């Protein structure tokens, strides 16, 4: 069943039920009959006139309910705040914890732009805290919010526009403008805008599905989406000599640094994401006494926060990124790194669950901890000019360096994509960058080729 223009309305007929007279209005929408009983014929005739007016105006009807779609939408109309919570509730069960945070972020950005008045409006940070931390976090809905949060959400609930108001392109434009700004008023990154716009588009699609909007109004707005910079900055990619120096500098940062040397080695030699490295267990490692080894990666543990996971743990339980839940990624690792992992296991053993890397208390390695070690190692290993540049500014840049090394070594892009856990299209768009100093190497090869023809 769906919408149709095939509508037939019969004349009102009088009925006597249990000694009382009533008036019955009958009509058919598509192949589905409908009827409604009124206490008087006058009321029935008035309703019949409303339906006839809708037919004469060329309005579509909903076959399931028998109502004109315009009227059905008016009956289903709710505030944007109510709809946004319905949307979050719909997406929550099937969304990973990290995705939940991005959904809440987008809704918390859109909602302040969809209010009917700014009189009495809480300040930006109060709104952000209440919307992101409470209104759009299903895990908090069973808790009693603080008084300040409750007041803020009560104001939002009273003053947000109805969903039907979003059929106005000028209202949609206000939301898109909000997506271009950060909380401090600075310009948001193009990738942030695109992510929030995509979520907003999906939320409007849910409004169409719930028959709260006739169509998705986002397509009516002429808005040039800024191009996102998806490519890796070549300036952040270290060469093998620099990578070795950084790993040695990590090991010189005390006991924690010595423990984390192999952790950073996972990022550089195996192209692992940090969330994959923190979950590397002994059972994932095939480490022969000599030659190449293999890592069999089967999951990750990204840190999201206790408030967003189903378990209440700060790390979410995830499979490999962008892969089916139980898929395993087999990554060959060079002898140099195979020996490094063997040495790490001989020295530190494993946690009770088999993890290679852990905190002093046996917990999962935290970004704050390995970030401090990396910052000190980077300052020690790089020249002042390199330290002031983006070169290896983040541990994640070691993964970029690894994939760039594979590509620049002539490895088939299909094989590189498989090892890195990417599609070939994403690989060539994002990672096909030069190593630090590779430009001079390329120029030397061109000089050599030209000299052969001189």
pLDDT at 277 over 90: yes
| 379 belongs to a structural domain | yes
Please report the pLDDT score of residue 439 as a whole number.
67
List helix spans (H) across 111-213: 124-130, 147-159, 169-179, 190-209
Number of domains making up the chain: 3
265 with 370, same domain: the answer is yes
- Residue 26: inside a domain: yes
How many angstroms separate the CA atoms of 339 and 414, rounded? 27
Pair 53, 165 in one domain = no
DSSP H or E segment with residue 62: strand 61-62
On whether both 151 and 113 belong to a single domain, the answer is yes
Note whether 278 and 215 are same-domain residues.
no
The CA distance from 81 to 102, in Å, is: 17
364 and 306 both lie in a single domain: yes
**Residue 207 shares a structural domain with residue 265:** no
pLDDT at residue 229, as a whole number:
62
Residue 258, pLDDT score: 96
Asked whether residue 442 carries a pLDDT value surpassing 90, the answer given is no
**Confidence class for position 326, pLDDT limits 50, 70, 90:** confident
Residues 380 and 238 in one domain: yes
What is the distance between the alpha carbons of residues 409 and 437, in angstroms, rounded to a whole number? 14
Q: Which domain holds residue 156?
A: 80-220
Which DSSP category does 8 fall into?
Answer: E
Here the contacts of 84-92 (C-beta below 8 Å, separation 24 or greater) are 84/110, 84/111, 84/135, 84/136, 84/203, 85/135, 85/136, 86/206, 86/210, 87/202, 87/203, 87/206, 88/136, 88/138, 89/138, 90/206, 92/138
Report the CATH number at residue 248: 1.10.443.10
Give CA–CA dist 212/77, Å, rounded.
6
Among 155, 187, 220, residue at a domain's last position: 220
Q: What percent of the chain has pLDDT over 90?
A: 67
> Is 228 part of any domain?
no
| pLDDT confidence tier of residue 318, bands split at 50, 70 and 90 | confident
pLDDT digits (tens, 9 = 90+) for 230-259: 677 888 999 999 999 999 999 999 999 999
Asked if residue 63 is part of any domain, the answer here is yes
Mean pLDDT estimate for the chain: 90
The answer to whether residue 418 sits within a structural domain is no
Lowest mean pLDDT among 129-138, 198-207, 297-306, 377-386: 297-306
pLDDT digits over 40-99, tens only? 899 999 999 999 999 999 989 988 889 888 888 777 789 999 999 999 999 999 999 999
Is residue 30's pLDDT more than 80? yes
Last residue of a domain, one of 193, 220, 247: 220
In this structure, are 247 and 391 located in the same domain?
yes
pLDDT over threshold 90, residue 202:
yes
Pair 389, 277 in one domain = yes
Query: Which tens digits make up the pLDDT trace of 140-174?
Result: 999 999 999 999 999 999 999 999 899 999 999 99
Task: Kindly state whether residues 245 and 199 are assigned to the same domain.
Answer: no
Q: Which residue has the higher pLDDT, 430 or 109?
A: 109
Whole-number Å distance between alpha carbons of 329 and 323 = 9
Counting other chains too, the contacts that 165-172 makes at CB distance below 8 Å and 24 or more residues apart are 165/80, 165/114, 166/80, 166/114, 166/204, 166/207, 166/213, 166/217, 167/213, 167/214, 167/217, 168/217, 169/217, 169/220, 169/221, 171/114, 172/217, 172/218, 172/220, 172/221
Task: For 374-431, write each residue's pLDDT tens digit.
Answer: 999 999 999 999 999 999 999 999 999 999 888 888 888 899 999 999 888 888 777 6
Kindly state whether residues 13 and 69 are assigned to the same domain.
Answer: yes
């Amino acid at each position: 069943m769906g919408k149709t223009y095939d509508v037939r309305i019969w004349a009102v007929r009088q009925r006597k039920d249990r000694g009382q007279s009533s008036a019955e209005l009958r009509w058919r929408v598509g192949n589905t009959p409908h009827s409604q009983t009124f206490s008087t014929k006058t009321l029935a005739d008035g309703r019949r006139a409303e339906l006839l007016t809708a037919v004469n105006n060329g309005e579509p009807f909903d076959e399931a309910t028998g109502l004109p779609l315009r009227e059905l939408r008016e009956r289903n109309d709710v505030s944007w705040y109510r709809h946004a919570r319905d949307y979050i509730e719909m997406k929550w069960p099937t969304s990973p914890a990290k995705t939940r945070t991005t959904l809440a972020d987008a809704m918390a950005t859109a909602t302040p732009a969809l209010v009917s008045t700014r009189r009495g409006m809480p300040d930006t940070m109060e709104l952000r805290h209440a919307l992101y931390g409470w209104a759009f976090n299903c895990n908090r809905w069973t808790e009693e919010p603080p008084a300040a949060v409750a007041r803020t959400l009560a104001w939002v609930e009273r003053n947000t526009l109805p969903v039907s108001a979003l059929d106005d392109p000028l209202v949609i434009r206000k939301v898109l403008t909000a997506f271009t700004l950060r909380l401090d008023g600075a310009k948001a990154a193009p990738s942030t805008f695109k992510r929030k716009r995509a979520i907003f588009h999906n939320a409007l699609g849910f409004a169409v599905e719930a028959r709260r909007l006739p169509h998705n109004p986002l397509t009516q707005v002429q808005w040039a989406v800024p191009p996102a910079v998806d490519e890796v900055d070549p300036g952040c990619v270290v060469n093998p000599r620099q990578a070795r120096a950084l790993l040695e500098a990590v090991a010189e940062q005390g006991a924690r640094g010595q423990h984390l040397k192999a952790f950073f080695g996972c990022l550089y030699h195996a192209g692992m994401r940090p969330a994959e490295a923190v979950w590397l267990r002994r059972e994932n490692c095939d480490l022969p006494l000599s030659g190449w080894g293999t890592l069999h990666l089967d999951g990750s543990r990204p840190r999201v926060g206790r408030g967003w996971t189903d378990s209440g743990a700060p790390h979410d339980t995830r499979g490999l990124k962008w892969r089916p839940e139980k898929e395993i990624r087999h990554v060959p690792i060079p002898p140099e790194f195979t020996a490094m992992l063997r040495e790490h296991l001989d020295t530190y053993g494993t946690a009770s669950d088999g993890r290679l890397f852990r905190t002093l208390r046996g917990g999962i390695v935290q970004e704050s901890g390995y970030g401090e070690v990396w910052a000190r190692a980077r300052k020690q290993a790089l020249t002042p000019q390199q330290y002031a540049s983006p070169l290896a500014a983040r541990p994640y840049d070691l993964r970029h360096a690894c994939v760039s090394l594979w590509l620049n070594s002539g490895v088939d892009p299909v094989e590189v994509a498989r090892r890195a856990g990417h599609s070939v299209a994403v690989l060539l768009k994002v990672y096909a960058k030069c190593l630090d100093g590779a430009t001079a190497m390329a120029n030397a090869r061109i000089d050599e080729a030209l000299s052969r023809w001189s």
